[in-house]
């Protein structure tokens, strides 16, 4: 089996989105995308001024957004009538398809808010499909625990723990892993997939080859292969995300991701003339 190694180690870039939410952006800057992943944001602060303005109503077309909460409460509403309150450990997996207008607003006035939003591309054949909204409570996800590690499974399978996201075109794997100091996490990934680790806290080593120091809020793009080994130099918490590349042209205009520039212009026109939501 081919070992997986660290390919690129990248520090997130400070950014502001929505109505002024401060966040750290890794995918969506450099690299601009990592097929099929288009963007990865970490938002988190104990200062309410960094998040209280939230993300008022805004449109999307042609992507999936996966929001994962680690701390705090967020309220979601969208043009399909979907709504829900996200609390620690919950996931919102939204397929925007042909078009959706939604808002994501903090349901708290103080305290710590912490979470992630991942954008996944949709293939041309699904970009104009009917929007879907999936809300996953923390207790509906599979998990695995032993003396070395705790693995929460949002998508994919680890040992006997299986995530609730199934029959997805990019065959995603999305794990939240806590690894004790001096212990290893070993896992076989599909050799077809693009994969990355986002280290939330702690310090880790990946594979068998030497690489630069990796600790706290760092994106690590992985080489393709099958055998992944992660060693914790300090107690660590990280995300492991993997997906099958779509391999199509990408045209992006703000919240719209399509295959051609003309499709982006059509999305903008649809939004402004009131025909965006089907």
Q: What integer is the mean pLDDT of 92-115? A: 90
1 within a domain of the structure (yes/no): no
CATH of the domain at 196: 2.60.120.10
278 within a domain of the structure (yes/no): no
- Place 95 in a pLDDT band, splitting at 50, 70 and 90: very high
| Percent of the chain clearing pLDDT 90 (strictly above) | 75
Residues 6+ apart with CB under 8 A from 14: 22, 23, 24, 25
Provide the token pair at 271: 């939004």
- Place 9 in a pLDDT band, splitting at 50, 70 and 90: very high
Question: pTM of this prediction?
Answer: 0.95
* Count of domains forming the chain: 1
Whole-number pLDDT of residue 53 = 87
249 is in which domain, residue-wise?
6-273
Whole-number pLDDT of residue 48 = 83
- Burial classification of residue 209, based on how many CB atoms lie within 10 Å of its CB (0-12 exposed, 13-18 middle, 19 or more buried): exposed
Q: What integer is the mean pLDDT of 30-48? A: 91
């Amino acid at each position: 089996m081919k070992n997986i190694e660290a390919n690129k180690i990248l520090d997130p870039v400070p950014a502001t989105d929505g109505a002024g939410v401060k966040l750290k952006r890794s995918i969506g800057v450099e690299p601009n995308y990592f097929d099929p992943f288009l963007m990865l944001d970490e938002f988190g602060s104990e200062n309410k001024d960094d998040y209280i303005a939230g993300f008022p109503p805004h449109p999307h077309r042609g992507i999936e957004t996966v929001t994962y909460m680690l701390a705090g409460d967020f309220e979601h509403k969208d043009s399909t009538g979907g709504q829900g309150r996200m609390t620690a450990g919950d996931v919102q997996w939204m397929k925007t398809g042909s078009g959706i207008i939604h808002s994501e607003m903090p349901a708290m006035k103080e305290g710590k808010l912490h979470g992630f939003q991942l954008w996944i591309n949709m293939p041309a054949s699904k970009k104009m499909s009917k929007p879907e909204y999936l809300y996953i409570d923390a207790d509906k996800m599979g998990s695995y625990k032993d003396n070395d590690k705790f693995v929460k499974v949002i998508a994919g399978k680890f040992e006997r723990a299986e995530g609730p996201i199934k029959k997805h075109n990019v065959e995603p794997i999305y794990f939240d892993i806590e690894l004790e100091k001096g212990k290893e996490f070993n896992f076989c990934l599909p050799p077809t997939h693009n994969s990355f680790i986002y280290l939330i806290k702690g310090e880790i080593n990946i594979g068998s080859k030497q690489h630069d120091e990796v600790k706290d809020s760092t994106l690590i793009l992985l080489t393709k292969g099958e055998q992944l080994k992660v060693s914790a130099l300090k107690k660590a918490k990280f995300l492991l995300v993997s997906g099958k590349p779509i391999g199509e042209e990408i045209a992006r205009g703000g919240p719209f991701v399509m295959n051609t520039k003309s499709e982006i212009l059509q999305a903008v026109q649809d939004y402004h003339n009131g025909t965006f939501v089907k």
